[in-house]
Structure 1
Amino acid sequence: MKESTPEIHKKEAKKFFSFALITISTSRYEKYGNPASPEDADDISGKNMKDLLEAAGHKISFYRLVSDEKTSITDAVFAALDSPADIIITSGGTGLAPKDITIESVTPLFEKEISGFGELFRYKSIEDIGTSVILTRAVAGVIKGKAVFCLPGSPNAVKLAISEIIIPEAGHIVRHVRE
């Protein structure tokens, strides 16, 4: 049987990447300031991201904890774009509360949106959270040749997105954004 184009692209793509992780949480930021790692901030979702990615052979080259403020979020994204990271993942601030402004802060920076990510994430989340899935605004896009994923702050959401979508597609995505 002939391989599909996505299968060929995945085989030809680099296998391991460097990631930038940004946790968006005003309460954690006020309590911990600028920690060097998720462990230093009692950041469960950040630690889950780090552990899942490292277990798959990837490297964490950047970590930042910021408050739910537009300039803090965009400054962290720009710093991550200037880092050696191939892929940037944010966690938190994607809900419907007035303070949840990650999407409003990051999506205007997108040169292209990866629409299928949010669609697939919500589809896969239905099994865990049912119709509450409509409350998630998880998105992904491309900024300056790097994929940027904006995830909810829930540890389960982080695990699902990283294990079932981001890690399996990382090589394929990076290959295309760098073409």
Structure 2
Amino acid sequence: MSRIDETRDFIPVRIAVLTVSDTRQAADDRSGDVLVARLQEAGHHLAARDILRDDRDAIAQKLRDWCADPEVDVVISTGGTGLTGRDVTVEAHRDVYEKEIDAFGTVFTLLSMEKIGTSAVQSRATGGVAQGTYLFALPGSPGACKDAWDGILAKQLDYRHRPCNFVEIFPRLEEHRRRK
């Protein structure tokens, strides 16, 4: 069963938070605020924060920039994961991914089902890896950000979490590049 192994030291992760919205600004970015508060309460570092409009190319470029930044280990975006014509965050993420973490969306849907029932089918939350950086796209509601952080990311971004976690495989994410 999953647990925290107190014999292991906590390793803080550097996380960038991106809010995707045509209407939000720093003063009213509640979902971004939720993520920042939770990651900092967990002991992680806020590496960067930004707000972008629903523009696929701009979002993908921001993700690429952060993936290339050695001071960013993880990027969490919020917003733009729905079904409307303006929702392009998932497509932007997939433009950048080298590998998709397929089960992330599935586990998020299972968590959401407990809270919002079948409305969970409308979310396209996704996760992936690019250039040794983890990328996660979450819905734009504060509740969805809380659910994703509390139910998945808080555990997977904690080196002490057993039986396994994302942090312990950081060194191996780009091993294919070293073999050449």
Q: Specify if TM > 0.5.
A: yes
Q: Which runs of 5+ in 1 are unaligned?
A: 33-39
In structure 1, what is the equivalent of residue 65 of structure 2?
A: 79
- Residue aligning to 1:15: 11
Quick one: which of 111, 136, 139 aligns to 1:152?
139
Q: Do the aligned partners of residues 175 and 125 (structure 1) sit closer, same or farther apart at CA in structure 2, a change above 3 Å counting?
A: same
Q: Which residue of 2 aligns with 1:36?
A: none
User: SS at the partner of 2:145?
Assistant: helix
Counterpart CA distance in 1 for 2:80 and 2:6 is 31
1:50-94: CA deviations, max 9, x gaps? Answer: 001111111101001000001220121122223312111000000
Asked if the contact 1:147–1:174 (Cα under 8 Å) also holds between the matched residues in 2, the reply is: no
The structure 2 residue matched to 1:70, chosen from 36, 56, 66, is 56
**Runs of 5+ unmatched residues, structure 2:** 160-164, 173-180
* Alignment map for 1:7-156 (pairs within 5 Å): 15-28=11-24, 32=25, 40-83=26-69, 84-156=71-143
TM-score w.r.t. structure 1 length?
0.84
Distance in 1, Cα, partners of 2:11 & 2:98: 25
Deviation at 1:26, TM superposition (A): 1.2
2:63–2:96 Cα contact (<8 Å) kept = no
**What amino acid sits opposite 1:26 in the alignment?**
D
- Conservation of the 8 A alpha-carbon contact between 2:67 and 2:133: yes
Q: Could you list the structure 1 runs, at least 4 aligned residues long, displaced by more than 2 angstroms after superposition.
A: 6-15
Instruction: Please give the secondary structure, in 1, of the residue aligned with 2:37.
Output: helix
SS of equivalent to 1:48? helix
Aligned CA RMSD, in angstroms, stands at 2.1
Of 144, 166, 171, which aligns to 1:178?
Answer: 171
Percent identical among aligned pairs is 33
Paired with 2:122 and 2:54, the residues of 1 have a C-alpha distance of 18
In 2: Cα distance, 1:65 partner to 1:95 partner: 17
- How many aligned positions are there? 165
